A and B are shown apart, each in its own frame.
Chain A
């Protein structure tokens, strides 16, 4: 067995069946068993090689009625960059008015992913 060979168990979340996958990686090669369809294999490959998640959080809003503004990334962000994004979100402070979909952080860390507002808040 080569040194970078490793096996991982994961649950496919592409559809509600939730197949239990066994995934073996050997360098760039990924072997998947336990999937009932090809979408499971694709999911496992992505999860092993470059897992990504949509991040949702809140940041400070300068509005007495709404102290927090819900925000989200407009595309999935590489897993290892989530902490860094969250730190930036928590240091952000937004002044109303703000519109749903308005970009608050553009092209975060050159990933092409934006942080956008999930809500519209008018000025009082």
Chain B
């Protein structure tokens, strides 16, 4: 069996993996990047629409273009890349190193013995099982991301008459894509009273084609023996289905865009602690998981909507790996917790002595909000936010200055709250 002895193993060659690997390798630590598919890029390769890279490259790129810029960086680096290779097992060795096995139809089994691991395996889509729509189980029900892959990479068009469940961005992008390949999208059905995708996508992917968006509605039944034939759509009244108002739409295809969940198989197998708020690993101020030397970034850590944030977060993870390999550790850490109107904050601990970046998701829509950072219940910093909504992640820079006027004890904790100011 081939064995690779390295400083860092990066598992998953999407936006996160490429950024982390390029960063670590640039500091002259030996780095391997392992990708299950035959080429690097991850989900970017199927996202042929534009809207990527405004932060990283200051221009608007398509997914494949954004991926290609990173692939060039990897090719020009010392990173050893293993495509078509899946990491299925991780063991913790007595000397603190990790032993991982990669399986490849081409190279057979490869054993990686590494000082650190970065998890960048991305996420998977929620499917019908997760949303529980009653009715028959005919063909023609796809997750939106799978449909995107079929259309954009394989050239296979899943259906002609389409209904989309969920107003997440992937579903909206697919609505336009299906229209542009000659299919007809009859409706987008969203259970919440507000759309979960970006306004820009509502405007350009639905309104441009006069596709109706049914807010506070659910798909209550699927009809069809072999293939989907129709769906029932029911409005919600005070949160409960108002069956008298149910109407039917004939269609042959149902696309589900009902959310993403971090890919956790490997994390569970090694016993990494998961954060119930993000469904990804719980990480400290260095983006290190509950297992020493194992780091995480990108969609496997928490689901991102902007690839630029994924690249930035993974770069940070890479820098932390470098610190760790050099033996640099934070002197102290404080727990940071989501307060009012915040769903989660990542990471769950911060180092008050250095500049850091944290990401959080709000629970509310507001066009005039105030973000408050509190230590021991005392406000240390406030920020005005002209616009927040749950589908847009908030990035916040934390500076040591925030803490200069408060007394930090081992019991101190940081809390972030969001207030809507009408």
A27 CB-CB contact with B under 8 Å:
no
B136 CB-CB contact with A under 8 Å:
no
Given A72-B62, A118-B64, A119-B64: A56 in contact with B155 (beta carbons within 8 A): no
Interface residues of A in 83-124 (CB under 8 A from B): 86, 100, 118-120
The 5 closest A-B pairs by CB, nearest first: A18-B199, A70-B48, A13-B200, A119-B64, A118-B62
29 A-B contact pairs sorted by A residue (CB < 8 Å):
A10-B203, A11-B207, A13-B200, A13-B204, A16-B387, A16-B392, A17-B367, A17-B387, A18-B199, A55-B180, A56-B49, A57-B180, A58-B48, A58-B152, A58-B155, A60-B155, A67-B153, A67-B154, A67-B155, A68-B154, A68-B155, A72-B48, A79-B208, A100-B68, A118-B62, A118-B64, A118-B65, A119-B64, A119-B65
The number of chain A residues touching the other chain, given as a range, is 20 to 34
A53 CB-CB contact with B under 8 Å:
yes
Inside 8 A of B65's CB, which chain A residues have their CB?
100, 118-119
Inside 8 A of B153's CB, which chain A residues have their CB?
66-68
- By beta carbon, the residue of chain B nearest A101 is B65
B15: min CB distance to chain A, Å: 15
Q: Is the beta-carbon distance between A11 and B202 smaller than 8 angstroms?
A: yes
Given A13-B200, A16-B392, A70-B62: A120 in contact with B387 (beta carbons within 8 A): no
Contact of B48 among A16, A57, A67 (CB under 8 A): A57
Inside 8 A of A54's CB, which chain B residues have their CB?
50, 60
In this complex, the member of A65, A67, A70 whose beta carbon has the largest number of chain B beta carbons within 10 angstroms is A70
Q: State in angstroms the CA–CA spacing of A67 and B149 once bound together.
A: 12
Q: Is the beta-carbon distance between A86 and B180 smaller than 8 angstroms?
A: yes
B180: min CB distance to chain A, Å: 6
Given A118-B48, A118-B62, A119-B65: A13 in contact with B155 (beta carbons within 8 A): no
Interface residues of A in 43-69 (CB under 8 A from B): 53-58, 60, 65-68
Inside 8 A of A55's CB, which chain B residues have their CB?
180
Residues of chain B at the chain A interface (Cβ within 8 Å): 38, 48-50, 60, 62-65, 68, 151-155, 180-181, 198-200, 202-204, 207-208, 367, 386-387, 389, 392
Given A58-B48, A67-B155: A120 in contact with B199 (beta carbons within 8 A): no
B247: min CB distance to chain A, Å: 24
Q: State in angstroms the CA–CA spacing of A61 and B63 once bound together.
A: 18
Q: State in angstroms the CA–CA spacing of A74 and B227 once bound together.
A: 39
Q: State in angstroms the CA–CA spacing of A118 and B46 once bound together.
A: 11
Inside 8 A of B49's CB, which chain A residues have their CB?
56
Q: Is the beta-carbon distance between A70 and B387 smaller than 8 angstroms?
A: no
Inside 8 A of B180's CB, which chain A residues have their CB?
55, 57, 82, 86
Given A56-B49, A67-B155, A86-B180: A16 in contact with B64 (beta carbons within 8 A): no
